[in-house]
Structure 1
Amino acid sequence: PAALHCLGQYYGELARRFARGFDVSLSCDPEAADMMPPRGVFLVAVAEDMPIGCAGLKGRPDGTSAEVKRVWVAPSARGLGLARRMMDRIEDCARAQGRARLLLDTNSALREAVALYRRLGWTAIARFNDDPYPDLFFEKRL
């Protein structure tokens, strides 16, 4: 329930922030099993029994790479370094799974996320999927 709450909030924010809105059914939405051990992980941050953030790691079939998915922090928790801590934890989980390369996609309307990824050492790369919403693509070697 906490993960679903975070995802619902995340999708609602995307719908408000994207010029053309957001419809999850048009997105390359990962299967839940792809973000559960041993293939991946899905983190939920909780404060005072309220879910305030999430981040997923979706394992890729090659076994050496994974995608970071659905990074979101509640507006009330922004500015506290939570997204950075979740990204650090995602990297730790990826290393523990033997992943050597992480990928992520995002939309330039999410300026704070783009700035965070760049600060954390992510490098811009060419498009790697056909999802209609992202316009920026990054990788990080572990």
Structure 2
Amino acid sequence: MSPDIITDYLERKATESPAILHVKDSATDQAFFVIDDPYDLNEFDTALRSVAKSPAMQFELADGILDDQNNASYLNTVNCSFMIVDKLADFEKVRDCRNRCYHIGKEVIKSILKDQREMNIIPGKMIQVPLRANYSPVGPMDVRWYGYQFTLAFVGPDGFCV
């Protein structure tokens, strides 16, 4: 399991979501963005200006842990977060926009948990996603974008050897 595999998997979740409407490798239907530097606010703004359809998912890797568990069984924990953001409609309450994003984020997490049970995060490998997903409101971004950020950990075997 590597950070790239988790990034590709979360893009697949955005593609499968009926609310996000992301089309992978499309120039006109982008709704999933990888934020490489969460401290560069221009990266967030550029992603939001590139959204073809809203709501959108912005994904960022946080960190990870390689653990030998004091035996020959190695684990890799990849921590990440994703934001579900949407553009505030005219005369819409911020609370309503955030509520919409919260429910979309919960649906994504439910889909991830289903994939975990079916060993479909990385086909054939048992990847655990402990349900302890922190979430917090975000926005305003680029004036009218609001939503929620969800934080998850993916824990799985790693072929790491010393």
TM score, norm. by length of structure 1: 0.35
Structure showing greater relative contact order (alpha-carbon pairs closer than 8 Å, 6 or more residues apart): 2
TM score, norm. by length of structure 2: 0.32
